[in-house]
C-alpha cells in the first residue's frame, strides 16, 4: 500500500497542532501539567531513538518533520503523540477521581485503545528472518496499513493484533502506566504543584528515569514479547480490564458527571474517527474483511466509551 501525501498529513499535522494546543491549554491552568507534556515529548522521542538504534524492530517513513537522518530518524509528530497520550490519559483519570495510585491503569488503557486503532491503519509489517539490520533496508512483501512506519517482525512471532505484534500494545500500556505513576508520585509525595518550575522539571526528569528503569524490568526482564501467544493475550486482556474493574468496584464514589472537557478529548476523538475511516477507506487487511473493519470500529467505540467515562452522567442528563 502506497503512503500518500494525505496519509502523511493525517499522521503528522493534526497531532502536532493538537499537542501544541495541549501545551497552550495547560499553561493557562497548571504549570506542572505543561512541563509534564514537554517532558513526555522528550521522553517519547528519546525512547523512540534508543529503540530504533538498538533493536531495529521498526523504522519510520519520511513524515516531513524528522529528528535525525534515515534510517534512524524519528518524526516529531510521534513525540507529540506521546505527549498527547500521556496528557489525555492523566486528565481523564483525574476527572473520574480514582485514588491517585490507581489512575495510571486508566491512563494506560486510554492510550492503548488509541494505539489499537492507530497502529493497524498507519503501519505495515514485514516478516523477516534476520532483524539485526535496520528495518528500512529490509526487503520483502509487507502487509497492513499505509506504511507511516514499518514493523520488521521475526518469523514465528506468536501473537498479533491485525498485522502488529501484540507485544507492542502491552509495551504501550506498561510505558504509559509507569510514566504516569512516577509523575503522579512526584505530585503526591514531593508536593510538586507547590514548587518552582526548576524543581518541578527536576522531579519530572527523575520520574522519567525511574519510569525507564521500571519498564526495563517489566518488559525486558519478563521478555513478554517472546512469550507464547496465549500468555501474551492473557496479560494483555488483564491489563486492559484492570482499570474497568477498579472503576466498577468504586463506581459509587467516583465522578461521572463532569462537564465534557472538549479541549482534552479532541485528539483521541480525531485518532479514533480519522484512522477508523482511513482503515475502511483504504481497505486495510483485506483478507480479513468484513471482520477487520468491524473489529476496528468496535475498538474505536470502546476507546471513546472509556475516554468519556468521566462525562457519562452529564451526557446521560442531556439526552434525557
Indicate whether 85 belongs to any domain: yes
> To the nearest 10°, the Cα dihedral for 9, 11, 17, 23?
-170
- Answer whether residue 80 is part of any domain: yes
Q: How confident is the model at residue 314 (pLDDT cuts 50, 70, 90)?
A: confident
Domain that residue 85 falls in: 5-313
Rounded distance between C-alpha atoms, residue 64 and residue 76, angstroms: 9
The predicted model gives 249-272 an average pLDDT of 96
Of 154 and 61, more confident: 61
pLDDT band at residue 320, thresholds of 50, 70 and 90? low
206: exposed, middle or buried (Cβ count in 10 Å: 0-12, 13-18, 19+): middle
Judge whether 266 lies within some domain. Answer: yes
Whether 56 has a pLDDT exceeding 80, the answer reads no
Mean pLDDT (whole number) for 63-87: 94
Poorest-pLDDT segment among 53-57, 116-120, 267-271, 300-304: 53-57
The tally of domains found in the chain comes to 1
Binned at pLDDT 50, 70 and 90, residue 47 comes out as very high
| Mean pLDDT computed over 103-111 | 98
Share of the chain above pLDDT 90, in %: 76
Give me the pLDDT at residue 225, please. Answer: 77
pLDDT for res 172: 93
Return the SS3 of 13.
Answer: helix
Does residue 318 sit within a domain?
Answer: no
pLDDT band for 231, please (50, 70, 90 cuts): very high
Kindly state the percentage of the chain with pLDDT values over 70: 97
* 38 has pLDDT over 70: yes
Identify whether 289 is part of a domain: yes
Q: How confident is the model at residue 132 (pLDDT cuts 50, 70, 90)?
A: low
Q: How confident is the model at residue 130 (pLDDT cuts 50, 70, 90)?
A: low
Q: Does residue 136 surpass a pLDDT of 80?
A: no
**Lowest-pLDDT range of 103-117, 181-195, 279-293:** 279-293
Element (H, E) at 127: strand 123-128
Q: At 167, phi and psi to the nearest 5?
A: -60, -25
Count CB-CB contacts under 10 A for residue 90. 27
pLDDT at 296: 97
The mean pLDDT value for 93-122 works out to: 97
Residue 320, domain member (yes or no): no
Instruction: Please compute the mean of the pLDDT values over residues 55-71 and round it to a whole number.
Output: 89
Question: Among candidates 168, 304, 152, which has minimal Cα distance to 236?
Answer: 168
DSSP for 144-185 reads ES--SEEEEEETT---EETTEEHHHHHHHHHHHHHHHHHHHH
Mean pLDDT across the stretch 4-10?
Answer: 95
Q: Pick from 291, 308, 168, 180: which is nearest to 235 by CA? A: 168
Mean pLDDT taken over the chain: 92
pLDDT for 1 equals 66
**37-46, 136-145, 254-263: which range is least confident on average?**
136-145
Q: Are 39 and 33 in contact (CB under 8 A)?
A: no
- Distance between CA atoms of 297 and 279, rounded to whole angstroms? 10
Amino acid at each position: 500500500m502506497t503512503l500518500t501525501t494525505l496519509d502523511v498529513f493525517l499522521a503528522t499535522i493534526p497531532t502536532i497542532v493538537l499537542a501544541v494546543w495541549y501545551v497552550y491549554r495547560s499553561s493557562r491552568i497548571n504549570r506542572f501539567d505543561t512541563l509534564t507534556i514537554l517532558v513526555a515529548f522528550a521522553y517519547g522521542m528519546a525512547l523512540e531513538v534508543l529503540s530504533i538504534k538498538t533493536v531495529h524492530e521498526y523504522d519510520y517513513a519520511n513524515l516531513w518533520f524528522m529528528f535525525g537522518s534515515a534510517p534512524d530518524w524519528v518524526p516529531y509528530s510521534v513525540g507529540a503523540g506521546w505527549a498527547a497520550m500521556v496528557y489525555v490519559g492523566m486528565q481523564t483519570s483525574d476527572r473520574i477521581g480514582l485514588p491517585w495510585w490507581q489512575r495510571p491503569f486508566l491512563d494506560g488503557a486510554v492510550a492503548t485503545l488509541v494505539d489499537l486503532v492507530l497502529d493497524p491503519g498507519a503501519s505495515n509489517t514485514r516478516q523477516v528472518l534476520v532483524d539485526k539490520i535496520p528495518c528500512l533496508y529490509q526487503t520483502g512483501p509487507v502487509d497492513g496499513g499505509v506504511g507511516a512506519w514499518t514493523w520488521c517482525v521475526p518469523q514465528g512471532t506468536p501473537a498479533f493484533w491485525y498485522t502488529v505484534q501484540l507485544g507492542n500494545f502491552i509495551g504501550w500500556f506498561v510505558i504509559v502506566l509507569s510514566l504516569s505513576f512516577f509523575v503522579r508520585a512526584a505530585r503526591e509525595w514531593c508536593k510538586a504543584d507547590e514548587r518552582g518550575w526548576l524543581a518541578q522539571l527536576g522531579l519530572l526528569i527523575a520520574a522519567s528515569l525511574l519510569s525507564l528503569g521500571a519498564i526495563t524490568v517489566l518488559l525486558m526482564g519478563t521478555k513478554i514479547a517472546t512469550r507464547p501467544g496465549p500468555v501474551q493475550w492473557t496479560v494483555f486482556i488483564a491489563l486492559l480490564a484492570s482499570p474497568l474493574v477498579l472503576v466498577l468496584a468504586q463506581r459509587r464514589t467516583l465522578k461521572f458527571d463532569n462537564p465534557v472537557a472538549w479541549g482534552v478529548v479532541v485528539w483521541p476523538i480525531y485518532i479514533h474517527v480519522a484512522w477508523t475511516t482511513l482503515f475502511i477507506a483504504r481497505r486495510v487487511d483485506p483478507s480479513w474483511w468484513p471482520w477487520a473493519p468491524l473489529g476496528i470500529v468496535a475498538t474505536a467505540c470502546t476507546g471513546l466509551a472509556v475516554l468519556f467515562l468521566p462525562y457519562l452522567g452529564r451526557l446521560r442528563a442531556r439526552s434525557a
